[in-house]
Amino acid sequence: MVVGDFAEEVDTLIIGSGPGGYVAAIRAAQLGQKVTIVEKDAVGGVCLNVGCIPSKALIEAGHRYNHASEGAPDMGIATEKATLDFSKLQEWKSGIVQKLTGGVESLLKANQVEVVKGEAYFSDENAVKVSTDEYSSQTYKFKNCIIATGSSPIELPNFPYSDRVINSTGALSLSEVPEHLVVIGGGYIGIELAGAYANLGAKVTVLEGEKRILTGFEKQMAQLVQRNLKKKGVNIETQAFAQSVEETDNGVTVKAEVKGEEKTFEGDYLLVSVGRKPNTSELGLEQIGVEMDDKGYIQVDKQCRTNKKNIYAIGDIVPGPQLAHKASYEGKIAAEAISGEASAVDYLGIPMVVFSEPELASVGYTEKEAKDAGFDVVAAKFPFQANGRALSLNDANGFMKLVTRKEDGLVIGAQIAGPNASDMIAEAGLAIEAGMTAEDIAMTIHAHPTLGEITMETAEVALGTPIHIAK
């Protein structure tokens, strides 16, 4: 029996409160809309609760434990083996998540955004029914709707999830550091978690079907990461195709075909990290005619609008890289479009980052992509080894590449492999967004000694006037 369902009316209904949904809600509220968010799990979505934030906390803890264990012999610093209280680490990580999700809840409240807990299902093009529990539901009629339901890990048919076969969520909530972690997938999630657990003392094996890991980045960048992982004892098997897994109470045995040869790998856990699928299958989109492709991605225009003029979609459920900051960006665009503004997406300035060792970051065109697009380009490169700050950090393994248009020096792309690449890439993104040239960057005074100088130095290489490397 359904308890009294009298429809409530809202200006903008948002389904999902992840980094796309909650940002869209706040921007829409700022623009004068009456906003309601429907969230079936925790406010903050995957990113804040079981994705970006907890994974980076685990990665940072791995760095600190590894540094404390190994010391810095080159600096004359020797340490005894560090100890690790993994339960305390997990408690600390959870505290960060709680602080951030609590902050988001406060921001939504401050912007008078109503948060409804439940699962949404479209009744028609102007209404959803929200099931709050087994016996009750509430209908919400909306003028506009933004779908921001995110994605879920892909589950392979031969590797159903269990206590020992886990996805990224499970890998972040383990109660112990595995003695041996086997990872299927050498993309950014698999590599980040492989590196984190290797730093925490686990033996790690990565099985990647392609000829190399991190295929979304230039080969030379990925090679730096692979070499570093191998130094930590990580076994990376490329052209490796996992076939089956056998589980016991204490571990797993994985059979794989590696370059045509059958191999067996034993571990405590098997992490399956082969990508994510859009959460669009249980919303009733088909019955109201929202256009999707055969993989379940919702098709949208430059304002994130679906083929239904009052329904928008953002984040992992639309085509493009599945990145939290892309979702936030699209959320702002959709909220502004609803308010009648001319905002439209432009993805050239969206950065991609891997929190590996060294960190990798890319924005705009790569050299190859620029040439394929018909640009005549200059690809300038500067090594971290020539930067004083990188040397003083004892972490000078890497480089920056700046891709500029030859005719006028316009910055159209950048790639960075090195410490703090995730932070450094923002300057290159700003240059692309603002239509800056290599000369603009080179003429900007950068503080010394900083890693930021590498961006200036790379711009000088692009201009043919390098100071700190030979021309």
Across 123-148, average pLDDT: 94
What's the rounded mean pLDDT across residues 271-293? 97
Q: Who contacts 359 (Cβ-Cβ below 8 Å, separation ≥6)?
A: 353, 416, 417, 418, 419, 420, 421, 422
Residue ranges of the alpha helices (H) in 345-407? 367-372, 388-392
Residue 389 to residues 88, 305, 317, 394, 452: CA-CA distances in angstroms?
Answer: 33, 46, 41, 9, 9
In the predicted structure, residue 269 carries a pLDDT above the cut 90 = yes
What are the angstrom distances between the C-alpha of 185 and each of 274, 354, 362?
5, 14, 21
CB 318 within 8 A of CB 304: yes
Q: Find where tokens 């000369």 sit.
A: 439
How confident is the model at residue 134, as a pLDDT? 75
What pLDDT sits at residue 1?
Answer: 40
pLDDT at 5 over 80: no
Q: What is the pLDDT of residues 329-364, one digit of tens each?
A: 999 999 999 999 999 999 999 999 999 999 999 999
CB atoms inside a 10 Å sphere around CB 101: 19
> Over pLDDT 90: what percentage of the chain?
97
Confidence of residue 135 (pLDDT cuts 50, 70, 90): confident
Residue where the block lists tokens 């990376």: 236
Please choose, from the candidates 126, 444, 161, the residue with its C-alpha nearest in 3D space to the C-alpha of residue 309. 126
**pLDDT for 189-222, tens place per residue?**
999 999 999 999 999 999 999 999 999 999 999 9
Burial classification of residue 95, based on how many CB atoms lie within 10 Å of its CB (0-12 exposed, 13-18 middle, 19 or more buried): exposed
Query: What pLDDT, on a 0 to 100 scale, did the predictor assign at position 438?
Result: 98
Q: Is the pLDDT of residue 88 over 70?
A: yes
Domains and CATH numbers, the chain: 8-152+277-347 (3.50.50.60), 165-274 (3.50.50.60), 358-463 (3.30.390.30)
CB atoms within 10 A of CB 255: 14
pLDDT digits 0-9 by tens, 406-443? 999 999 999 999 999 999 999 999 999 999 999 999 99
Question: Which tokens go with 454?
Answer: 């590498």
The pTM of this model reads: 0.96
The mean pLDDT value for 94-120 works out to 97
- Catalytic-residue membership of 448: yes
Q: Provide the pLDDT for residue 80.
A: 84
Instruction: Tell me the two tokens of residue 258.
Output: 């590696």
Q: Which of 325, 446, 448, 468 is flagged as catalytic?
A: 448
Average pLDDT value for the chain = 97
Q: How many angstroms separate the Cα of 141 from the Cα of each of 6, 120, 155, 264, 310?
A: 10, 12, 35, 55, 12
C-alpha closest to that of 254 among 239, 237, 267: 267
Chain-centroid distance, C-alpha 265? 28
